[in-house]
Structure 1
Amino acid sequence: MIGVNKDNVELGEKYNCKTSLLEREFSGTIIAKYENTCIVELLSCAFEDSQKALEYNNRFVIGFNDLA
């Protein structure tokens, strides 16, 4: 994953993301932006990750390097 410059990240925009908590990449919307990370609300993910996503209320803290 290439990563995105934090200055180019916009609230409400959709990105492909990765996290070590899920097996595969997922798509989500940026709902909060911080200095080195952002909070992403999951929009869609692989079936095998759906239960784990629910455990985290479909929200993940993601570094800008893990956005595409």
Structure 2
Amino acid sequence: MWPFTSRRIFGNRWWAVAFVVFVCWQVADLLGDPAPPGNSATATDITGAPVDDEQMRQMADTLNTLQNSN
């Protein structure tokens, strides 16, 4: 699967640098792009359209009704 052993990777400083860059690249890819600042408070629906306060209130009322029905 991985063609290098740890002795072979770290035996040459350039392979060690390449390995560190590869690991950092994999971590950055795994974590993804951070959310833009100030955008975290905007709620969106499944299509990505922003949800207004009236829709949020209706959803909260619906959830409270379902919770209280038990």
For the superposition of Structure 1 and Structure 2, which TM-score range results when normalised by the shorter chain? under 0.3
Structure with the bigger RCO (C-alpha within 8 Å, sep 6+) is: 1
Greater strand share, 1 or 2? 1
**Please, what TM-score do these two structures have when normalized by structure 1?**
0.20
TM-score between the two structures when normalised by the length of structure 2:
0.19
